[in-house]
Structure 1
Amino acid sequence: MAHLSWTVKESLLSYVVDRAGGVVDVETPAKRSADGSFWFPAVGREFADAGTGSVTKFAGGVRLRGHGGMLDLPLRDPWIEQTAIGFVLTIVDPDDVNARLPFVTMEEFVLRGNSRFGVATSMTADGADLIFGPYEAGTPFDDPVLHDVSE
Protein backbone atom coordinates (compact mmCIF):
# COMPACT_ATOMS: atom_id res chain seq x y z
CA MET A 1 0.00 0.00 0.00
CA ALA A 2 1.32 3.41 -0.91
CA HIS A 3 2.04 5.93 1.83
CA LEU A 4 3.72 9.25 2.48
CA SER A 5 6.48 9.55 5.07
CA TRP A 6 7.50 13.00 6.22
CA THR A 7 9.29 14.40 9.27
CA VAL A 8 7.77 17.86 8.56
CA LYS A 9 10.69 19.92 9.96
CA GLU A 10 12.78 18.36 12.69
CA SER A 11 13.75 21.70 14.24
CA LEU A 12 10.08 22.74 14.47
CA LEU A 13 9.12 19.47 16.17
CA SER A 14 12.05 19.82 18.60
CA TYR A 15 11.04 23.38 19.38
CA VAL A 16 7.48 22.28 20.22
CA VAL A 17 8.39 19.32 22.45
CA ASP A 18 11.18 21.20 24.24
CA ARG A 19 8.67 23.79 25.57
CA ALA A 20 6.57 23.26 28.68
CA GLY A 21 3.27 21.78 27.57
CA GLY A 22 4.46 21.26 24.01
CA VAL A 23 2.84 18.27 22.33
CA VAL A 24 3.05 16.54 18.95
CA ASP A 25 -0.06 14.41 18.44
CA VAL A 26 -0.56 11.91 15.65
CA GLU A 27 -4.11 11.59 14.34
CA THR A 28 -5.22 8.26 12.88
CA PRO A 29 -4.79 6.70 10.46
CA ALA A 30 -1.37 8.39 10.39
CA LYS A 31 1.37 6.82 12.51
CA ARG A 32 4.80 7.81 13.75
CA SER A 33 7.67 5.49 12.91
CA ALA A 34 10.69 4.67 15.05
CA ASP A 35 12.83 7.08 12.99
CA GLY A 36 10.48 9.97 13.86
CA SER A 37 8.81 10.31 10.48
CA PHE A 38 5.05 10.43 10.15
CA TRP A 39 3.39 7.87 7.88
CA PHE A 40 0.19 8.80 6.07
CA PRO A 41 -1.62 6.03 4.11
CA ALA A 42 -2.71 6.80 0.56
CA VAL A 43 -6.39 7.11 -0.22
CA GLY A 44 -7.64 6.99 -3.77
CA ARG A 45 -5.11 6.26 -6.47
CA GLU A 46 -1.40 5.68 -6.02
CA PHE A 47 1.13 8.25 -7.10
CA ALA A 48 1.88 8.28 -10.80
CA ASP A 49 3.26 10.82 -13.23
CA ALA A 50 -0.03 11.80 -14.77
CA GLY A 51 1.01 15.31 -15.67
CA THR A 52 -0.09 18.66 -14.31
CA GLY A 53 -3.16 18.38 -12.15
CA SER A 54 -2.25 14.96 -10.75
CA VAL A 55 -3.23 14.61 -7.08
CA THR A 56 -2.30 11.90 -4.59
CA LYS A 57 -4.30 11.98 -1.37
CA PHE A 58 -3.20 10.77 2.06
CA ALA A 59 -5.12 10.43 5.32
CA GLY A 60 -4.35 11.28 8.92
CA GLY A 61 -2.73 14.18 10.64
CA VAL A 62 -0.09 15.64 12.90
CA ARG A 63 -1.02 18.37 15.36
CA LEU A 64 1.57 20.58 17.04
CA ARG A 65 0.42 22.35 20.19
CA GLY A 66 2.10 24.52 22.77
CA HIS A 67 2.48 27.93 24.40
CA GLY A 68 -0.71 27.49 26.43
CA GLY A 69 -2.83 27.15 23.30
CA MET A 70 -1.17 29.96 21.35
CA LEU A 71 0.39 27.36 19.05
CA ASP A 72 -2.07 24.96 17.46
CA LEU A 73 -0.89 23.73 14.08
CA PRO A 74 -2.96 20.90 12.59
CA LEU A 75 -1.42 19.29 9.48
CA ARG A 76 -4.30 17.10 8.30
CA ASP A 77 -4.87 14.91 5.26
CA PRO A 78 -1.86 15.92 3.14
CA TRP A 79 -2.21 15.81 -0.62
CA ILE A 80 0.60 15.98 -3.17
CA GLU A 81 -0.50 17.98 -6.20
CA GLN A 82 1.50 18.32 -9.40
CA THR A 83 1.56 21.79 -10.93
CA ALA A 84 3.17 23.34 -13.98
CA ILE A 85 6.22 24.35 -11.91
CA GLY A 86 6.62 21.40 -9.53
CA PHE A 87 4.63 19.93 -6.66
CA VAL A 88 2.74 21.31 -3.71
CA LEU A 89 1.80 19.55 -0.48
CA THR A 90 -1.57 20.85 0.67
CA ILE A 91 -3.35 20.27 3.98
CA VAL A 92 -6.89 20.82 5.18
CA ASP A 93 -7.22 24.55 5.85
CA PRO A 94 -7.71 24.87 9.64
CA ASP A 95 -9.97 27.90 9.06
CA ASP A 96 -12.15 26.21 6.42
CA VAL A 97 -12.34 22.40 6.46
CA ASN A 98 -13.76 22.48 2.91
CA ALA A 99 -10.63 24.16 1.53
CA ARG A 100 -7.00 23.15 0.99
CA LEU A 101 -4.02 25.22 2.13
CA PRO A 102 -0.72 24.99 0.20
CA PHE A 103 1.82 24.29 2.96
CA VAL A 104 5.10 23.40 1.20
CA THR A 105 6.36 23.03 -2.37
CA MET A 106 8.79 20.56 -3.89
CA GLU A 107 10.70 21.15 -7.11
CA GLU A 108 10.43 17.50 -8.13
CA PHE A 109 10.21 13.89 -6.99
CA VAL A 110 13.10 11.58 -7.84
CA LEU A 111 12.34 7.88 -8.30
CA ARG A 112 14.63 5.48 -6.40
CA GLY A 113 13.45 1.90 -6.30
CA ASN A 114 9.80 1.86 -5.30
CA SER A 115 9.90 5.32 -3.70
CA ARG A 116 9.85 8.91 -4.89
CA PHE A 117 11.91 11.39 -2.90
CA GLY A 118 10.87 15.05 -2.75
CA VAL A 119 13.57 17.54 -3.66
CA ALA A 120 13.98 21.15 -2.48
CA THR A 121 10.98 21.30 -0.16
CA SER A 122 10.19 24.82 1.04
CA MET A 123 7.42 26.61 2.90
CA THR A 124 4.74 28.55 1.05
CA ALA A 125 3.53 32.01 2.05
CA ASP A 126 0.25 30.42 3.22
CA GLY A 127 2.20 27.94 5.36
CA ALA A 128 4.25 30.74 6.91
CA ASP A 129 1.06 32.68 7.70
CA LEU A 130 -0.40 29.59 9.36
CA ILE A 131 2.61 29.20 11.68
CA PHE A 132 2.83 32.96 12.48
CA GLY A 133 6.64 32.96 12.25
CA PRO A 134 9.52 32.42 12.67
CA TYR A 135 9.41 30.76 9.25
CA GLU A 136 9.01 32.72 6.04
CA ALA A 137 8.02 31.65 2.55
CA GLY A 138 10.96 29.78 1.05
CA THR A 139 12.20 28.34 4.36
CA PRO A 140 13.51 24.81 3.72
CA PHE A 141 11.41 22.00 5.19
CA ASP A 142 12.15 18.28 5.33
CA ASP A 143 11.60 16.44 2.06
CA PRO A 144 8.62 14.06 1.91
CA VAL A 145 8.96 10.54 0.51
CA LEU A 146 6.28 8.62 -1.38
CA HIS A 147 6.68 4.88 -0.77
CA ASP A 148 5.49 1.84 -2.74
CA VAL A 149 4.54 3.89 -5.76
CA SER A 150 3.67 2.59 -9.19
CA GLU A 151 5.54 3.73 -12.27
Structure 2
Amino acid sequence: MTTTAGLTWAVKESLVTYVEGLADGMVDTLAPASRTADGFWFPLSAEDPGPAAGHPRSAWQFLGTVRLSGHWGALDVELRDPRVEFGGGHGTLLIRERGGRDADARLPLADLVPGGPAAAGDGKPAGVGMSTLELAASLTGHGRLLLGGQYGVGEPLSTLRVSIPARDLAILGGDG
Protein backbone atom coordinates (compact mmCIF):
# COMPACT_ATOMS: atom_id res chain seq x y z
CA MET A 1 0.00 0.00 0.00
CA THR A 2 1.35 3.41 -1.01
CA THR A 3 1.04 5.82 1.91
CA THR A 4 3.89 8.20 1.13
CA ALA A 5 4.76 10.36 -1.85
CA GLY A 6 6.76 8.55 -4.48
CA LEU A 7 7.02 7.04 -7.95
CA THR A 8 6.32 3.42 -8.86
CA TRP A 9 7.52 2.48 -12.33
CA ALA A 10 8.31 -0.83 -14.04
CA VAL A 11 10.48 0.95 -16.70
CA LYS A 12 9.59 -1.34 -19.65
CA GLU A 13 8.50 -4.81 -18.59
CA SER A 14 9.83 -6.55 -21.71
CA LEU A 15 13.26 -4.94 -21.26
CA VAL A 16 13.51 -5.92 -17.58
CA THR A 17 12.42 -9.49 -18.42
CA TYR A 18 14.99 -9.65 -21.23
CA VAL A 19 17.85 -8.43 -19.02
CA GLU A 20 16.93 -10.85 -16.23
CA GLY A 21 17.00 -13.70 -18.77
CA LEU A 22 20.59 -13.01 -19.86
CA ALA A 23 23.33 -15.28 -18.51
CA ASP A 24 25.02 -12.26 -16.94
CA GLY A 25 21.96 -10.00 -16.76
CA MET A 26 21.42 -7.95 -13.63
CA VAL A 27 18.66 -5.60 -12.54
CA ASP A 28 19.78 -3.71 -9.44
CA THR A 29 18.43 -0.88 -7.35
CA LEU A 30 20.43 1.61 -5.33
CA ALA A 31 18.85 3.08 -2.20
CA PRO A 32 16.57 4.66 -1.55
CA ALA A 33 14.94 3.05 -4.62
CA SER A 34 13.65 -0.49 -4.14
CA ARG A 35 11.99 -3.23 -6.14
CA THR A 36 8.32 -3.97 -5.58
CA ALA A 37 5.77 -6.31 -7.14
CA ASP A 38 4.65 -3.37 -9.32
CA GLY A 39 8.10 -2.33 -10.53
CA PHE A 40 10.53 0.01 -8.83
CA TRP A 41 9.78 2.48 -6.03
CA PHE A 42 11.47 5.90 -5.89
CA PRO A 43 10.55 8.08 -2.87
CA LEU A 44 9.88 11.80 -3.29
CA SER A 45 12.91 13.85 -2.31
CA ALA A 46 12.54 15.55 1.08
CA GLU A 47 14.88 18.30 -0.15
CA ASP A 48 12.69 19.17 -3.11
CA PRO A 49 11.85 22.87 -2.78
CA GLY A 50 8.24 22.25 -3.75
CA PRO A 51 5.81 24.90 -4.95
CA ALA A 52 5.72 28.56 -4.07
CA ALA A 53 3.29 29.33 -1.27
CA GLY A 54 -0.27 28.79 -2.43
CA HIS A 55 0.68 27.26 -5.80
CA PRO A 56 0.62 23.62 -6.88
CA ARG A 57 3.89 21.89 -7.59
CA SER A 58 4.85 21.49 -11.26
CA ALA A 59 7.82 19.15 -10.74
CA TRP A 60 8.58 16.23 -8.46
CA GLN A 61 12.09 14.94 -7.76
CA PHE A 62 12.43 11.28 -6.80
CA LEU A 63 15.48 9.48 -5.43
CA GLY A 64 17.26 6.25 -6.19
CA THR A 65 18.66 4.31 -9.11
CA VAL A 66 17.72 1.32 -11.24
CA ARG A 67 20.57 -0.24 -13.19
CA LEU A 68 20.16 -2.76 -16.00
CA SER A 69 23.31 -4.55 -17.14
CA GLY A 70 24.31 -7.52 -19.24
CA HIS A 71 26.08 -8.71 -22.37
CA TRP A 72 29.39 -8.51 -20.49
CA GLY A 73 29.17 -4.74 -20.14
CA ALA A 74 27.75 -3.89 -23.58
CA LEU A 75 24.37 -3.26 -21.93
CA ASP A 76 24.63 -0.81 -19.05
CA VAL A 77 21.64 1.45 -18.43
CA GLU A 78 21.37 3.59 -15.32
CA LEU A 79 18.10 5.35 -14.48
CA ARG A 80 19.01 7.68 -11.63
CA ASP A 81 16.96 10.15 -9.62
CA PRO A 82 13.91 10.43 -11.89
CA ARG A 83 12.19 13.80 -12.08
CA VAL A 84 8.67 14.42 -13.37
CA GLU A 85 7.99 17.92 -14.75
CA PHE A 86 4.66 19.28 -16.01
CA GLY A 87 3.54 22.29 -17.98
CA GLY A 88 0.94 22.96 -20.65
CA GLY A 89 -0.98 19.73 -20.03
CA HIS A 90 1.89 17.34 -20.68
CA GLY A 91 5.02 16.26 -18.88
CA THR A 92 8.53 14.89 -19.14
CA LEU A 93 10.36 12.19 -17.21
CA LEU A 94 13.97 13.28 -16.76
CA ILE A 95 16.88 11.12 -15.58
CA ARG A 96 20.12 12.38 -14.07
CA GLU A 97 22.87 12.35 -16.70
CA ARG A 98 25.49 9.69 -16.07
CA GLY A 99 29.15 10.67 -16.17
CA GLY A 100 28.62 14.25 -17.31
CA ARG A 101 30.51 17.28 -16.06
CA ASP A 102 27.38 18.85 -14.60
CA ALA A 103 26.19 16.70 -11.70
CA ASP A 104 22.72 18.29 -11.93
CA ALA A 105 22.24 17.75 -15.68
CA ARG A 106 19.16 15.74 -16.64
CA LEU A 107 18.13 14.09 -19.87
CA PRO A 108 14.52 13.70 -21.05
CA LEU A 109 13.82 9.96 -21.08
CA ALA A 110 10.07 10.01 -21.75
CA ASP A 111 7.17 12.22 -22.67
CA LEU A 112 4.27 11.92 -20.22
CA VAL A 113 0.52 12.24 -20.63
CA PRO A 114 -1.71 12.28 -17.54
CA GLY A 115 -4.08 9.36 -17.43
CA GLY A 116 -5.92 10.74 -14.40
CA PRO A 117 -6.25 9.44 -10.88
CA ALA A 118 -5.57 5.73 -10.48
CA ALA A 119 -8.68 3.59 -10.52
CA ALA A 120 -10.39 3.25 -7.17
CA GLY A 121 -10.40 -0.22 -5.71
CA ASP A 122 -7.15 -1.26 -7.36
CA GLY A 123 -5.60 -2.19 -4.02
CA LYS A 124 -3.24 0.77 -3.97
CA PRO A 125 -4.81 3.55 -1.90
CA ALA A 126 -2.68 6.65 -1.75
CA GLY A 127 -3.17 7.43 1.91
CA VAL A 128 -4.63 10.44 3.69
CA GLY A 129 -4.02 13.68 1.80
CA MET A 130 -2.41 11.82 -1.10
CA SER A 131 -3.50 11.19 -4.68
CA THR A 132 -2.12 8.63 -7.10
CA LEU A 133 -1.86 9.49 -10.79
CA GLU A 134 -1.12 7.22 -13.71
CA LEU A 135 1.05 8.77 -16.42
CA ALA A 136 1.46 7.19 -19.86
CA ALA A 137 5.11 7.33 -20.95
CA SER A 138 6.67 7.26 -24.42
CA LEU A 139 10.36 7.28 -25.29
CA THR A 140 12.07 10.52 -26.39
CA GLY A 141 15.08 10.83 -28.69
CA HIS A 142 17.42 11.05 -25.69
CA GLY A 143 15.58 8.11 -24.12
CA ARG A 144 16.14 6.05 -27.25
CA LEU A 145 19.89 6.61 -26.92
CA LEU A 146 19.87 5.98 -23.15
CA LEU A 147 18.29 2.56 -23.77
CA GLY A 148 20.92 1.68 -26.37
CA GLY A 149 19.02 2.53 -29.55
CA GLN A 150 16.94 -0.66 -29.42
CA TYR A 151 13.61 1.16 -29.27
CA GLY A 152 12.18 3.91 -31.45
CA VAL A 153 11.13 7.39 -30.45
CA GLY A 154 7.54 7.22 -29.22
CA GLU A 155 7.85 3.59 -28.05
CA PRO A 156 5.55 3.09 -25.06
CA LEU A 157 7.23 2.52 -21.70
CA SER A 158 5.56 1.24 -18.55
CA THR A 159 2.99 3.54 -16.99
CA LEU A 160 4.28 5.70 -14.15
CA ARG A 161 2.29 5.70 -10.92
CA VAL A 162 2.97 8.90 -8.99
CA SER A 163 1.66 9.33 -5.44
CA ILE A 164 1.67 13.02 -4.59
CA PRO A 165 0.01 15.37 -2.12
CA ALA A 166 -3.59 15.91 -3.26
CA ARG A 167 -3.07 19.69 -3.38
CA ASP A 168 -0.62 19.18 -6.26
CA LEU A 169 -3.31 17.74 -8.56
CA ALA A 170 -4.24 21.24 -9.76
CA ILE A 171 -1.18 21.35 -12.04
CA LEU A 172 -2.61 18.37 -13.93
CA GLY A 173 -6.12 19.73 -14.07
CA GLY A 174 -7.30 17.71 -11.06
CA ASP A 175 -9.71 19.06 -8.54
CA GLY A 176 -7.41 18.37 -5.58
Same fold per superposition (TM over 0.5): yes
Matched residue SS, 2:7: strand
Q: Which residue of 1 aligns with 2:20?
A: 17
Matched residue SS, 2:107: strand
Bigger radius of gyration, 1 or 2? 2
Matched residue SS, 2:104: strand
1:39 and 2:41 equivalent? yes
The count of aligned residue pairs is 146
Task: Report the more deviating stretch, 1-10 or 93-102.
Answer: 93-102
Task: Report the more deviating stretch, 85-94 or 10-19.
Answer: 85-94
Match among 95, 113, 137 for residue 107 of structure 1: 113
Task: Report the more deviating stretch, 6-15 or 36-45.
Answer: 36-45
Matched residue SS, 1:101: strand
* Contact kept in structure 1, 2:114 and 2:133, CA below 8 Å: no
Q: Which residue of 1 aligns with 2:60?
A: 56
Aligned partner letter, 1:105 = D
Larger % of strand: which?
A: 1
Counterparts of 1:61 and 1:130, CA distance in 2? 14
Task: Report the more deviating stretch, 86-95 or 110-119.
Answer: 110-119
Unaligned ranges ≥5, structure 1: none
Matched residue SS, 1:14: helix
Note the C-alpha offset of 1:55: 1.1
1:98 and 2:104 equivalent? yes
1:143 and 2:152 equivalent? no
TM-score by length of 1: 0.88
Counterparts of 1:150 and 1:36, CA distance in 2? 22
Any idea what the Cα deviations from partners look like across 1:58-93, whole Å, max 9, x if unmatched? 000100000100111000000001133511110011
CA RMSD of aligned residues (A): 2.0
- CA separation of 1:45 and 1:4: change in aligned 2, threshold 3 A: farther
Q: Report runs of 4+ in structure 1 exceeding 4 Å deviation.
A: none
Q: Which residue of 2 aligns with 1:72?
A: 76
